[in-house]
Chain A
Amino acid sequence: GAGVSQSPRYKVAKRGQDVALRCDPISGHVSLFWYQQALGQGPEFLTYFQNEAQLDKSGLPSDRFFAERPEGSVSTLKIQRTQQEDSAVYLCASSHQGGPYEQYFGPGTRLTVT
């Protein structure tokens, strides 16, 4: 079966541009997570959805970051007015039950802001 997919895999943005990163979770998975991973570091939690409800967005670093999952399946992470410090790999994960239990990760989107 298909795993979690993310697109694009690579994105180069000029500073100040807006970007949208897409995540297609495993079909039927209730929970969806977004993480930010800087080079050489572990994933840092950004936000968590259970179905279409965003239950936790405490990890979003600023109000330039916005995530949605309007129909409880596909999710989009949007970053407005990108800054160089936003350069990182953005990982999406899904889980078939609520809470941070076994998560299935996508390959990530590598964002480079120039």
Chain B
Amino acid sequence: GESVGLHLPTLSVQEGDNSIINCAYSNSASDYFIWYKQESGKGPQFIIDIRSNMDKRQGQRVTVLLNKTVKHLSLQIAATQPGDSAVYFCPGVGKSTFGDGTTLTVKP
């Protein structure tokens, strides 16, 4: 089955700095990956996705990098803002195993 894990449960950054949140997966057959953001009291919100035939995808202030060789993906947030403070998840495919996420705290 699929397992995903985030490398760090918490990450604290200064406002304006760039943030990098990492995720590992175990199933080499995985072909689709999603990042979600969950703010306090709300449901998870889709941020960006990437298919396995890509190694990079950019959105607005966010970039996802996929390294299939080491089965690792990362979410980069440029110029982190207080509104980026949330829990970030990278669920696997199949049953969408979310794991416990990485809590990003942005310090003003």
Residues of A within 8 A of B (CB): 4, 33, 35, 40-45, 48, 56, 58-59, 91, 93, 99-108
Q: In the complex, what residues of B have CB within 8 A of residue A43's CB?
A: 44, 89, 96, 98
Is the pair B89, A42 in contact by a Cβ cutoff of 8 Å?
Answer: yes
Total count of chain B residues near the partner, CB < 8 A = 21
13 residue pairs of the A-B complex, CB under 8 angstroms, read: A35-B96, A42-B101, A43-B89, A43-B98, A45-B96, A59-B95, A91-B43, A93-B43, A100-B93, A100-B95, A102-B46, A102-B49, A105-B45
CB distance from B37 to the nearest CB of A (A): 11
CB distance from A19 to the nearest CB of B (A): 19
Cross-chain contact of A41 among B42, B94, B100 (Cβ < 8 A): B100
Is the pair A42, B46 in contact by a Cβ cutoff of 8 Å?
Answer: no
A99 to B91, CA, bound (A): 13
Q: Whose C-beta in chain B lies nearest to the C-beta of A102?
A: B46
Q: In the complex, what residues of B have CB within 8 A of residue A35's CB?
A: 96, 98
Q: In the complex, what residues of B have CB within 8 A of residue A48's CB?
A: 95
Most buried by A among B44, B93, B96, B98: B96
